[in-house]
Amino acid sequence: MRHKNSVLHDLLKHVPWGEFDRLVSEHRADKHVRRLSTKSQFVALLYGQLSGATSLREIVGGLESHAARLYHVGGRTVSRS
């Protein structure tokens, strides 16, 4: 079976991750992070925007259904707590 990237993966290819990481370091955005890094939060919010999710529960459920693919885009599943 031929592999096909998701639309989210294709969009994330255009994000300048070097610049993103530089800004995260410059502003110390991950200083007190325990579980969800800035990059994972960005991926989750982008997924929510693109999927038309209207609640955090929808974002969590959608990301859980794509958990195996999140590793490839640099994200991880999130929890509501």
**Greater model confidence, 58 or 77:** 58
Residue 52 has pLDDT above 90, yes or no: yes
Asked whether the beta carbons of 28 and 38 are under 8 A apart, the reply is no
Asked whether the beta carbons of 77 and 63 are under 8 A apart, the reply is yes
pLDDT grade, residue 81 (50/70/90)? low
Separation between Cα atoms, residue 11 and residue 25, nearest integer Å = 23
Separation between Cα atoms, residue 37 and residue 21, nearest integer Å = 11
Asked whether the beta carbons of 63 and 6 are under 8 A apart, the reply is no
Asked whether the beta carbons of 39 and 70 are under 8 A apart, the reply is no
